[in-house]
Amino acid sequence: MAIQSIDMTDETWKRLLALRQRAAARPQAHDPALAVYGPIAEAKGRFVLAQVGQSLDGRVATPAGDARDISGPDGLAHLHRCRALVDAVIVGEHTVSADDPRLSVRLVAGPSPVRVVIDCHARLTGTESLFSDGGAPVIVFRSAEAEGAPLGNAEVVRLSPCENGLATKDILDALGARGLDRILVEGGARTIARFIEAGLVNRLHVAVSPIIIGSGPSGISLPPIERLASAHRPDTKVYSLGSDILFDCLLKPGSPSPSKGDEVQVTDFA
């Protein structure tokens, strides 16, 4: 499998931002940067990208939860490009509690996405930074049965819970009703896995950084399988970002995992 290098020039990035705004058409000339980011920027209707930044041994944090330095500088720039090209970014409640992320676009030029948090059991306290940092709007999904603290200016959307949490399709439908169709599912591992299990992810980006952690949570935590014949084998292309290697995986929405689970678990351990 050949590895192509992504050389993101200012001209190419401006072209992608114009494509995002429907102000330009994607050029026909082959450019690895356009091949990776073009499908996100030009997506029409619902489009879900899942992104994982992990170590060589598939870890996204230490056992103590330290995850801040896993991705190299080019891996972080890649993540911020993805944020700038989508309408909304989704994370689980545990990611917010553990990492206190801003979920903004700081490393590249472009708009910051609406920030979406899945907080089924209303565990967030409202003291988390994203509720008071003056950044992009925040939407929080909670169970209709849960009572919790007020969350500043965040919009709280209450959904009827399923057996194990909130249905991923219901979340996407609610976002789509608000004009938010291009979605980045950023973390953690179980949140990403639930969207993959439900067959709702169009593309999966796995950015691998050349470090070995040895133990800790994995980047994607899907239910176990007995035979490799049941494993996901997506069409994949590999790119060098510079400090990190990107696996760009084409998934097929509507084709759930052998063990389908379309509810988002309340607890998200990465």
Q: Return contacts of 237-241, CB within 8 angstroms, 24+ apart.
A: 237/1, 237/4, 237/35, 238/1, 238/2, 238/3, 238/4, 239/3, 239/4, 239/5, 239/6, 239/32, 239/36, 240/3, 240/4, 240/5, 240/6, 241/6, 241/72, 241/74, 241/75, 241/77, 241/78, 241/207
CA dist., res. 159 & res. 190, Å (int): 19
pLDDT at 222: 85
How many CB atoms sit inside 10 A of residue 210's CB? 10
pLDDT at 206: 97
Name the residue among 69, 79, 35, 264 with its Cα closest to residue 170: 264
pLDDT at 256: 55
CA 15, distance to chain mean position in Å, is 23
Name the residue among 93, 82, 149 with its Cα closest to residue 116: 93
Structural domain spans, the chain: 3-22+31-264
pLDDT at 188: 87
pTM above 0.75, yes or no: yes
Confidence band for 231, pLDDT divided at 50, 70 and 90: confident
- Phi-psi region at 50: left, alpha or beta (left = phi > 0; alpha = psi -120 to 50): beta
pLDDT in tens, 110-144: 999 999 999 999 999 999 999 999 999 999 999 99
Check if CATH label 3.30.420.10 holds for domain 3-22+31-264. no
Of residues 27 and 54, more confidently modeled: 54
Lowest mean pLDDT among 21-35, 65-79, 217-231: 21-35
pLDDT at 165: 87
pLDDT at 223: 84
* Tokens of residue 220, six digits: 């994607």
Name the residue among 179, 140, 132 with its Cα closest to residue 157: 140
CA dist., res. 79 & res. 53, Å (int): 8
pLDDT at 67: 81
Question: Residue 164: is its pLDDT beyond 80?
Answer: no
Distances 174 to 48, 62, 160, 179, 214 between C-alpha atoms, Å: 14, 34, 12, 9, 39
Name the residue among 100, 69, 67, 103 with its Cα closest to residue 83: 103
Average pLDDT value for the chain: 90
Average pLDDT over residues 67-79: 92
Lowest mean pLDDT among 21-35, 42-56, 124-138, 180-194: 21-35
pLDDT in tens, 207-228: 999 999 999 999 888 888 899 9
Question: Residue 233: is its pLDDT beyond 50?
Answer: yes
Pairing state of beta strands 88-92 and 182-187? parallel
pLDDT at 262: 45
Of residues 73 and 258, more confidently modeled: 73
CA atoms within 13 A on the CB side of 241: 26
CA dist., res. 242 & res. 9, Å (int): 14
pLDDT at 220: 86
